[in-house]
Structure 1
Amino acid sequence: MPGTTASNLDQVRNWLLARAPQRDTVAPDEDLITARLVDSLSFVEFLLVIEEASGAEIDREAMDLADFRTLEAIERKFF
């Protein structure tokens, strides 16, 4: 997988913030699902944003929801 860069994770963060204009930040350990930043209708688009930012395809067969709950988890798993 490609190395971590702030700009890659920022792409994911910016997508989240664009969906929640009342917010100006997302904490690295904030639960994105509980905070309703990602819901079932937006999850597929969220996956595509992560794939584009990371440069790697996500294996849909081996997905674990825990890998998508926080920006920290996303960074660990995909960057």
Structure 2
Amino acid sequence: MSQLISLDKINEVKQWLLSKKKYLSDIPFDLDLIENDVVDSLSFVEYVLLIEEISGREVVVDDTVLDKVRTLDRVQLNYME
């Protein structure tokens, strides 16, 4: 997959997160989304489903999933490339 398409996809995830958290004006790609409550327990399932929809890849929910989706950088590395 080209780097430009990958960037478009991760930016789509970023825009979705920003639409859910109106108080944020930007989300750095290395920001821990869970520790900073950008993704909370109520929105986690919706977040994972969005990643699957945009990437076209299944997100296996196991012991490693939190580390794989914790930052936008990690989402891009694990699901968008």
TM-score, structure 1 as length reference = 0.87
**2:59/2:65 contact within 8 Å kept:** no
Gap change, CA 1:18 and 1:56, over 3 Å in 2: same
- The count of residues paired between Structure 1 and Structure 2 equals 77
Question: For 2:12 and 2:28, how far apart are their aligned partners in 1?
Answer: 15
Q: Give the unaligned 5+ runs of structure 2.
A: none
Structure possessing the higher relative contact order (Cα contacts under 8 Å, 6 or more residues apart)? 1
Deviation at 1:11, TM superposition (A): 1.2
Q: Give the share of equivalent positions with the same residue, in percent.
A: 35
TM-score, structure 2 as length reference = 0.85
Query: What's 1:37 paired with?
Result: 38
Residue correspondence of structure 1 range 1-79 to structure 2 within 5 A = 3=1, 4=3, 5-61=6-62, 63-79=64-80
Question: For 1:58 and 1:66, how far apart are their aligned partners in 2?
Answer: 12
Q: Give the unaligned 5+ runs of structure 1.
A: none
Please tell me the residue identity of whatever aligns with 2:56.
G
RMSD (Å), alpha carbons: 1.4
